[in-house]
Chains A and B, each alone.
Chain A
Amino acid sequence: MQLRVNGSLHEVPDRWKKETLLTVLREHLGLVGTKFGCGDGACGACTVHVEGGVVRSCQMRASGAEALEIVTIEGLVGTGADLHPVQQAWLDERVAQCGFCQAGQIMQAVALLKENPAPDEQAIVEHMNRNLCRCGTQARVQKAIQRAARELRGQS
């Protein structure tokens, strides 16, 4: 089995075939930015992009992602680049507290801004509401998304 992750092809041995995409990413490929939070798709810490859309990687079999384009937090920017505008906005708004959910939040936010470059508050809430954060960073997540949206619109 092969997985295409962040633009590179990775060989996955047979014994990892029955794993979720999340555990293959983290434990086999060492892409540990994507987190295990609940294992039933309820918290969003494991959010990655598959074929450009958001997927809860704890709910997807690795075998089901074969031949699909997978992007994780580590692959948001190409080699050589510094930070994705959403990541930079996260720093500018000083969003993170404990930080555990933040990679999933960022992946969810990047997907939103691809679909909707100028989301209003309601659109942001609807898109982000199932990405949990126990520290209570949601207000700053909102601000960071708005900041990144402005930044991205300015670029295009």
Chain B
Amino acid sequence: MKTVKAKRRFTRRSLLKGAGVAAAGLTVTYVIGRHFVPILPSLATPDIDGVAWISVGPDGQISMLSPVHEMGQGSSLGLAQIVAEELNVESSEIKVSFPSTRDVPHMRFTTGSQAIALHARPVADAAARLREELRRKAAAVIDVEPAALADAKGGFFAPEKRFLSYSDAVAGEELTLASESLPTGTSYTFDATHENRQVGHDALQIQAREIVMGAPVFAGDILRPNMVYGRTVQAPAPDARILAVSDKGAGDVSGVIQVIIDKPRRLVGVVAETPASLEEALKRLEVQWDRPGRFSAEEVADRVDVDRALAKGDLEHSLVDEDVDLSSDWTVDLRFDQPILHHAAQEPRTAVAEFSQRDGQEVVDIWTGTQDIFVNQKKAAADLGWSTDRVTVHAMRVGGGFGGRVLYDVVREAVLLAQEVKRPVKVTWSRRDEFLADRTRPPSSHRVQIRTDAHGQISDWRHACVSGYVLLTELMAPQPLLSGMRMVMHDFGAARELKAPYSARARRIEMSDVDLPFHVGEWRSLGAAPNNFAIESAMDELARKLKRDPLDLRMQNLGEERARLRNCLTRLKTICDARPGAPGKGRGRGYACGIYQEHSYVAAAFDVAVDHQRRRIRAEHCTVVMDVGLAVSPDQIRAQIEGCAMMAIGQLWKEAAPVGDGGLSAHGFDDYPIPTMSDVPQFEIDIVDQGSTPPAGVGQAPIIALVPALANALRDATGYRALKLPINFDDIPGILDS
């Protein structure tokens, strides 16, 4: 056997090791919400972490501004539970609001999975200090030492069981504390000896009542006096340029206020008195586009073809380059292909913009559901040529994020159209626009090669991946800076979890990130789900080849430092062993696991059954063990796992963005089917109780294990290895048997 040793390479990437991490790093500062103070007295100072976000009113009402946007991930509830824990109240008693750009100073708003990890500790510490200040105030009322007051629900017990409420403590005064006068307080949330009453318990989601009653919480629910309706024509591709526009009588439609044609700004739109007039006028407008970058599905597949790229030599970026034996006798050697995915959130992007006069100057108010209000504020200000203080963005609930709502497009349309017609304008995208202008998850292809010794110990590991960009897009930086960044670093979004958690004697992990002719961006877990799908599918195939138990083989190859993942796998094995899968042909069980961002650990199993009559596979049972450290909101963790499981089912059976007529071609949900109630499995979810470990995010982690677990179950049931997603049922041997 000829042994080929990998050449050690020095790449630009290795010289700039860590640059990606720095670029992705976050700085979060908490300072006082000045505009919040007059509404309710704030017990806060600019210097104190977190305190400014929480206040106690003269009536004892506790209010907080959520430093995270809510899109269903439940992190605003988690933070409210922490505040409730520290202040000895029920989380439902806390009034949670979502701030506008005027309510709080500029800060980086987080996406779902970072929310709890970044904010839990400062919020807990701040609320604990607030509690101790309340104790001091209450003690002063009855002239005792603060230490003489015991915690009570909504206040304190003084000696002889006298109850002092928070309202008694603040005594109707507006309290503004200097930072140095704030007492220190030990947060209960992170005190292992404290019996938590809020944290770790199930609670009702923020805005849940409004949702079931149909009360206004989304951007589209905003109604302004004199408001009208607008929309623009979406470009069919990012590089499309307007050649010609014909009105075709759009302006004559009754109720149309203005047809706006601004070719330099690529803005062709209509504003009308009612939505139906708007639709009719938009149908009449005819735009001719220059589309140099027309593409086919085959051309896209070619661009991300990992074998084609490897045939030309090393991939562009080397993430790990150890002394791998590249000879051809791999124990497993598999190629995986994953498609373009849409977010397909239920809420179409919507924004309302209203210009008015404030303090002698023209200002604009914008209502929209976004994951980042300040980015939208800055971009709107830039479009208007204004300073940012003249632009206010009001954060509305996001009707499904999944990474797709760090966007400005719809806000831009509302702002520019409202400026033209001098009236408040509501822009709601059509479902077609949602698909067309979606920042999709780019397609990727992977080659995974693993060699083991006779005992199943991995000796050589190679993973080569070609993916479209995820983070190094025009949302990250303008050109030419973006091109420069792409030169010196790999796309750290696409590369997320490309390094498997398993030990190996030598590893070679490399990737190429490529430009694609359609919009790409963040999608739940970024590259982690596609990368881990390839890794965990290959591990499953390895176990089959070696005739080993798939869980044991994984645990054998996890290093000592992977104790939390090993624990998840051990618990998964115990649960699954106690509930043997139903025997029989066409039934199977598959396993997978993963570590997300070194903070969330997940092991998952799916049981599937072939439904011959309906020519489909049914996911019958889904078992998940998850360790996210301190489980602040266990029920919200379960909800995220359930949601990720449904998306995994979508990825295996259904989802791929169609390409046709030279571009993305989905018009509606019929073109992009998503999972429905008939796909729901039984859930068995085990949340590892790690009260002493700081909490981590849960919105994205489960999906990285759930997609491969389902593929591995399919393999177990049918012998069919899902190499290309979504699967084609006709390819599965035996599915047509009755």
Q: A residues within 8 Å of B by Cβ?
A: 15-16, 18-20, 23, 26-27, 30-40, 42-43, 45, 72-74, 83, 87, 90-91, 94, 96-103, 106, 124-125, 128-142
Contacts and interface: CB of A to CB of B under 8 A. Distances in A.
B626 to A, nearest CB: 15
17 contacts: A15-B255, A27-B275, A27-B426, A32-B220, A32-B221, A33-B214, A37-B348, A74-B213, A96-B211, A132-B346, A132-B674, A134-B674, A135-B346, A136-B675, A139-B680, A139-B683, A142-B677
Interface residues of B, number: 65
Interface stretch (B66-74, B260-268, B443-451, B465-473): B66-74
B223 interface: yes
Contacts of A31: 214
A94 B643 CA distance: 13
A42 B647 CA distance: 19
Contacts of A134: 343-346, 400, 402, 674
A83 B213 CA distance: 8
Interface in B55-96: 71-74
A38 B399 contact: no
Contacts of A36: 220, 348, 428
B658 to A, nearest CB: 15
B642 A137 contact: yes
A16 B278 CA distance: 12
Contact of B639 (A39, A97, A141): A97
A27 B223 contact: yes
Given A37-B347, A39-B430, A91 B274 contact: no
Given A94-B202, A134-B346, A99 B72 contact: yes
Contacts of B255: 15
B204 A94 contact: yes
A18 B281 CA distance: 13
A119 B262 CA distance: 56
- Which of A94, A106, A128 has the most chain B CB atoms inside 10 A of its CB? A94
A37 B214 contact: no
A126 to B, nearest CB: 8
B31 interface: no
B364 interface: no
Q: Is the interface of B mostly helix, strand, loop or mixed?
A: loop
A141 B275 CA distance: 31
B715 interface: no
A23 B275 contact: yes
A19 B431 CA distance: 18
Given A43-B669, A137-B643, A94 B208 contact: yes
Nearest to A128: B677
Interface string B249-275: 000001100000000000000000111
Contacts of A133: 346
A135 B399 CA distance: 9
A137 B639 contact: yes
A98 B223 CA distance: 21
A91 B204 contact: yes
Interface of B: 71-74, 202, 204-205, 207-209, 211-218, 220-221, 223, 229, 254-255, 273-277, 343-348, 397-402, 426, 428, 430-431, 635, 639, 642-647, 668-670, 674-681, 683
- Which of B229, B346, B679 has the most chain A CB atoms inside 10 A of its CB? B346
B276 A20 contact: yes
Contacts of B276: 18-20, 23
B642 A132 contact: no
Contacts of B677: 124-125, 128-129, 131, 138, 141-142
B544 to A, nearest CB: 30
A40 B667 CA distance: 10
Contacts of A23: 274-276
Contact of A73 (B213, B218, B275): B213
B675 A98 contact: no
A134 B344 CA distance: 7
Nearest to B214: A33
A98 B71 contact: yes
A74 B276 CA distance: 24
Contacts of B668: 38, 40, 42
B475 to A, nearest CB: 21
Contacts of A140: 639, 642
Given A40-B431, A45-B346, A96-B205, A33 B213 contact: yes
B639 A94 contact: yes
Contacts of B344: 134
A64 to B, nearest CB: 13
Given A135-B72, A135-B400, A140-B642, 12 more contacts: A19-B275, A35-B399, A36-B348, A73-B212, A91-B212, A96-B72, A96-B211, A98-B72, A99-B208, A125-B678, A132-B346, A139-B683
Contacts of A74: 213-214
Contact of A98 (B229, B401, B430, B647): B401
A110 B221 CA distance: 23
- Identify the 5 closest CB pairs spanning chains A and B, nearest first: A33-B214, A136-B646, A97-B72, A98-B72, A100-B399
Contact of B273 (A15, A39, A91): A15
Nearest to B681: A139
B349 to A, nearest CB: 12
B680 A142 contact: yes
Contacts of B676: 129-130, 132, 138
Contact of A35 (B74, B274, B347): B347
B71 A96 contact: no
B368 to A, nearest CB: 14
A15 B204 contact: no
A115 B214 CA distance: 23
- Which of A43, A128, A142 has the most chain B CB atoms inside 10 A of its CB? A43
A38 to B, nearest CB: 4
Contacts of A73: 212-214
Nearest to A77: B213
Nearest to A75: B214
Nearest to B669: A42
B692 to A, nearest CB: 27
Contacts of B71: 98
B669 A100 contact: no
Contacts of A136: 642-647, 675
A46 to B, nearest CB: 11
A124 B212 CA distance: 19
A40 B672 CA distance: 14
Nearest to B428: A36
B457 to A, nearest CB: 38
A53 B29 CA distance: 52
A139 to B, nearest CB: 5
Contacts of A97: 72-74, 205, 400, 639, 643
A35 B220 contact: yes
Contacts of B209: 91
A132 B274 contact: no
Nearest to B273: A15
B643 A135 contact: yes
Contacts of A37: 346-348, 431
